[in-house]
Amino acid sequence: MTQLSEQEIIRREKLQELHNLGIDPYPAAEYPVNDTSVNIKTNYSEETKEQFQEVCLAGRVMSVRDMGKAAFAVIQDSVGRIQVYIRRDDICPGEDKSLYDVVFKKLLDISDFIGIKGYAFITKTGETSVHAREITILSKSLRPLPVVKAKEGEVFDEVTDPEFKYRQRYVDLVINPEVKEVFIKRTRIMQTIRDFYNNLGYLEVETPILQPIPGGATARPFITHHNALDMPLYLRIANELYLKRLIVGGFEGVYEFAKDFRNEGMDRTHNPEFTVMEMYAAYKDYEWMMRTTESLLEKIALTLHGTTVVQVGDKSIDFKAPFRRVSMYEAIQEHTGFDIAAMDEAQLRDVCKQLGIHVDAKFGKAKLIDEIFGEKCEGNYIQPTFITDYPVEMSPLTKKHRSKAGLVERFELMVNGKEIANAYSELNDPIDQRERFEEQVKLMERGDDEAMYIDYDFLRALEYGMPPTSGIGIGIDRLTMLMTNQPSIQDVLFFPQMKPEQQK
């Protein structure tokens, strides 16, 4: 049984009093909002006052200053806050003053939603406000908003607690309006990407989330069960193989904003459910994709900030194209002193041991190289840098390098020490692709639970012929972290994954 606080009990009593007065605290009828707080505060003046004689606003009550027969309240709508002047004789023109004396003064609480009809004006202190002619209760709140508390010189604000912020994002958005700006910018990032690819003539598409094979990446999947078909299904770890099927089908360029799911650890840059934008373009290669990606990120920075320089923590990151290019082997040699280009698995294990990198016995050559790069190199690339030309063992879906034996035409974009994008010249040789899948099966048999399955239908699609193609995946969550200067992936997700809440 839920135990109510004193404030929650009082609010429920007020709710009942509203019912007793014949007032519906949750009316169903449309409320005719015709303006916003920001528009009024931005555009009201003596010259424009005639346009603001019949304004209708709605929002949450954030504060009330009672002055007897009049009061000032602040309401917060979807875009900002504005002061409202409420005078008893204006909203209660007859003899019955109960709407003001009882409903407004005694039964209204902070965080209740109200509607205001009136006109805009400027107070003697110079603040643009709304003079109310009519108020309407639109929703009674039964739980008080958190407030800043002070004790023995220390200030406690419940909404700075990450546990509270992430679990009750709806409260965080009310108390900390600046949080909303992060998510508005996230939407602008995605819209900029859409506009960019649409202008290239590419088509936004959708591919399955429930898949019979978890393909397109090396990751541990989430598994579910389809009762009607009596078969296991996997939540998508990547949408790559389905998008490339569409290139086989004749589309010149396709892209998708996809929710992907990987049954892995959680930290400041990983959430088991995350958003990726993947794009595939026929008749292109990874060199074209690097140039295109530079242009895209430069455009995003300019759209959001009006400059290519973005502040991330104490670092100034410049997204002005072109970006630096460094090969995978060059990066490892630069930061470890080891030239691993010709090393076999045993030699790589020895390098890991000398570098103090713990590796699992089931790791193959690709995983060993990945561990070395991740531990010793990745964090050094703060300014946008393309890490290029990966070993073939690390990239089972990538075309072999046209001039460098043992490598593939792949790049990852590193910014602020983290991978933001991953791209290839796509492997379109069905014989080579089958052999790469079979190598993945051998890794799976060794115990690698992130190795790829063989997707026979995808192989069949390649056998019909796929043109030369380049593809890229961009992590929207991490890109948003960069562009909005947020330190954690949880800060750019409305509802990040969390452990079940302990019920009191």
Q: How far apart are alpha carbons 88 and 96 in whole angstroms?
A: 10
| pLDDT surpassing 60 at residue 158 | no
CA-CA-CA-CA torsion for 50, 53, 54, 59, nearest 10 degrees?
Answer: 120
* Arithmetic mean of pLDDT, 478-484: 97
Q: Which of 210-219, 260-269, 278-287, 387-396 has the highest mean pLDDT?
A: 278-287
pLDDT class for 148, splitting at 50, 70, 90? low
The three-class DSSP label of residue 476 is helix
Whole-number Cα distances in Å, 53 to 47, 116, 130, 298: 13, 13, 10, 44
pLDDT tens, 199-246?
Answer: 999 999 999 999 999 888 878 899 999 999 999 999 999 999 999 999
Please state the φ and ψ torsions of residue 286, each to the nearest 5 degrees: -70, -20
**Helical spans, DSSP H, in 232-325:** 240-248, 286-305
Q: What is the pLDDT of residue 492?
A: 97
CB 434 within 8 A of CB 277: no
* Arithmetic mean of pLDDT, 97-124: 97
Q: What is the pLDDT of residue 163?
A: 86
At 81, which helix (H) or strand (E)?
strand 81-87
**How many helices and strands (H and E) does the chain possess?**
15, 20
CA angle (319, 325, 328) in 5-degree steps? 130
Question: CB-based contacts of 347: which residues, under 8 Å, 6+ apart?
Answer: 340
Whose structure tokens read 């027969």? 69
Long-range contacts of range 154-157, CB-CB < 8 Å, 24 or more positions apart?
none
Whole-number Cα distances in Å, 230 to 212, 225, 468: 12, 7, 38
Average pLDDT, the chain: 94
CB 326 within 8 A of CB 387: yes
Q: How many residues does the chain have?
A: 504
pLDDT class for 152, splitting at 50, 70, 90? low
Amino acid code (one letter) for 8: E
Q: At what angle do helices 178-199 and 286-305 cross, to 10 degrees?
A: 140
pLDDT class for 1, splitting at 50, 70, 90? low
pLDDT tens, 310-328?
Answer: 999 999 999 999 999 999 9
CATH topology of domain 186-323+416-437+454-492: BirA Bifunctional Protein; domain 2 (3.30.930)
pLDDT class for 29, splitting at 50, 70, 90? very high
Outline where DSSP puts E strands in 397-486: 407-415, 418-425, 469-475
CB 44 within 8 A of CB 26: no
| pLDDT surpassing 60 at residue 116 | yes
SS3 content of the chain, % helix, strand, coil (to 5): 35, 25, 35
Listed by start position, the domains of the chain span 6-139, 186-323+416-437+454-492
* Arithmetic mean of pLDDT, 429-434: 95
Q: How far apart are alpha carbons 180 and 186 in whole angstroms?
A: 10
Q: What is the pLDDT of residue 154?
A: 57
At 106, which helix (H) or strand (E)?
none
The three-class DSSP label of residue 414 is strand
Q: What global pTM score does this model have?
A: 0.90
CB 381 within 8 A of CB 374: no
- Please say whether the structural domain 6-139 has been given the CATH code 2.40.50.140: yes
Q: How far apart are alpha carbons 291 and 298 in whole angstroms?
A: 11
pLDDT tens, 373-406?
Answer: 999 999 999 999 999 999 888 888 999 999 999 9
Q: How far apart are alpha carbons 209 and 355 in whole angstroms?
A: 40
Q: Is 204 annotated as a binding residue?
A: no
Q: What is the pLDDT of residue 444?
A: 85
CB 33 within 8 A of CB 58: yes
pLDDT tens, 62-108?
Answer: 999 999 999 999 999 999 999 999 999 999 999 999 999 999 999 99
Q: Which two tokens stand for residue 1?
A: 């049984």
CB 279 within 8 A of CB 472: yes
Q: What is the pLDDT of residue 150?
A: 47
Q: Is 252 annotated as a binding residue?
A: no
